[in-house]
């Protein structure tokens, strides 16, 4: 009789899979050691780790089996850990930031775009806090790593780009450059899910550097946008002018910064030491 874990989830070849690798760092390449005890799993946020030395026990084979074969009502909710709900609050914060931007475009009231900035910062707090809670409970999650990357994409990728559009980066080329920026963040997270365990580790099993800018570095733009809103330098008052103004290809000079940021995120040669 075949092993349901091996056939369904590729559990025995986890070192070659990204299913549980998202936004995490493996200390070893194999899931089960010779004594059939799971190796520890280190869960950290995509930018910082609030509990630097603690390691989490990796979910064992029984947990995978129970997760796959759980047919109870609301089984998905039952299998979420406390840290997973905090990660979902990160995703909620990013989505509510987007909604706030839409309210701003409908009403023109600047406090809505200010609220959008606040919710992105709140998402950053939850991005830090979920890893801390997981360590306090000393328990890792089967879904937490994937949820973390997806929530980061919403809060630090889509939301900042939505704010940029709402405050005036609205030409066709501006939108294409913003799209490039978001897709670079998406691609960067996907690459991290695959390569995190291959990056050299220090004596504590923590990756020594990031390949390219982590996606939360997009917060630089969030603070810059907040400054523009505070100074009322938005919409037709955006600074530094246009390229090709008046043509179908016009775009704001600042939009080139989105391209540079995106390229820095997907760069493989750019190595940022971990804090």
The string of pLDDT tens digits covering residues 125-178 is: 998 888 777 677 666 677 777 888 899 999 999 999 999 999 999 999 999 999
- Contacts of 138 by beta carbon, 8 Å cutoff, 6+ apart: 54, 56, 57
* C-alpha dihedral (186, 258, 97, 217), degrees to nearest 10: 70
Say if residue 22's pLDDT is above 70: no
pLDDT of residue 173: 97
List pLDDT tens digits, range 174-219: 999 999 999 999 999 988 878 777 777 766 666 777 888 999 999 9
Say if residue 116's pLDDT is above 70: yes
pLDDT of residue 13: 41
CB atoms closer than 10 angstroms to residue 70: 12
Task: Provide the terminal-to-terminal Cα distance of the chain, rounded to the nearest Å.
Answer: 48
pLDDT of residue 47: 53
pTM of the model: 0.75
CA distances 259 to 161, 234, 264, 273, Å, are 12, 20, 9, 22
pLDDT of residue 146: 82
Cβ neighbourhood burial of 91 (10 Å; 0-12, 13-18, 19+)? buried
- Contacts of 89 by beta carbon, 8 Å cutoff, 6+ apart: 123, 126
State the pairing for strand pair 251-252/271-273: unpaired
| For residues 229-234, average pLDDT | 94
pLDDT of residue 181: 97
Q: How confident is the model at residue 29 (pLDDT cuts 50, 70, 90)?
A: very low
pLDDT of residue 7: 42
pLDDT of residue 239: 95
Share of the chain above pLDDT 90, in %: 48
- Contacts of 117 by beta carbon, 8 Å cutoff, 6+ apart: 97, 163, 222, 225, 226, 229
pLDDT of residue 2: 46
């Amino acid at each position: 009789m075949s092993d349901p874990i091996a056939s369904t989830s590729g559990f025995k070849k986890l070192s070659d899979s990204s299913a549980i690798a998202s936004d995490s760092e493996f200390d070893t390449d194999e899931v089960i050691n010779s004594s059939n005890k799971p190796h520890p799993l280190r869960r950290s946020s995509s930018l910082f780790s609030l509990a630097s030395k603690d390691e989490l026990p990796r979910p064992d084979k029984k947990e995978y089996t129970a997760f796959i074969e759980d047919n109870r009502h609301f089984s998905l909710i039952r299998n979420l850990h406390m840290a997973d709900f905090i990660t979902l609050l990160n995703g909620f914060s990013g989505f509510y930031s987007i909604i706030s931007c839409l309210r701003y475009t409908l009403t023109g009231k600047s406090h809505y775009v200010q609220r959008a900035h606040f919710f992105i910062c709140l998402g950053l707090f939850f991005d830090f806090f979920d890893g801390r809670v997981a360590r306090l409970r000393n328990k890792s999650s089967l879904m937490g790593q994937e949820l973390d990357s997806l929530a980061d994409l919403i809060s630090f990728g889509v939301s900042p780009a939505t704010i940029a559009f709402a405050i005036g980066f609205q030409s066709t080329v501006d939108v294409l450059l913003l799209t490039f920026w978001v897709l670079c963040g998406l691609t960067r997270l996907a690459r991290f899910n695959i390569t995190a365990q291959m990056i050299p580790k220090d004596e504590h099993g923590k990756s020594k550097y990031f390949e390219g800018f982590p996606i939360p570095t997009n917060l630089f733009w969030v603070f810059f946008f907040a400054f523009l809103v505070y100074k009322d330098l938005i919409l037709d008052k955006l600074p530094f002018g246009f390229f090709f103004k008046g043509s179908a290809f016009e775009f704001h000079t600042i939009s080139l910064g989105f391209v540079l940021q995106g390229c820095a995120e997907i760069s493989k040669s750019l190595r940022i030491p971990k804090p």
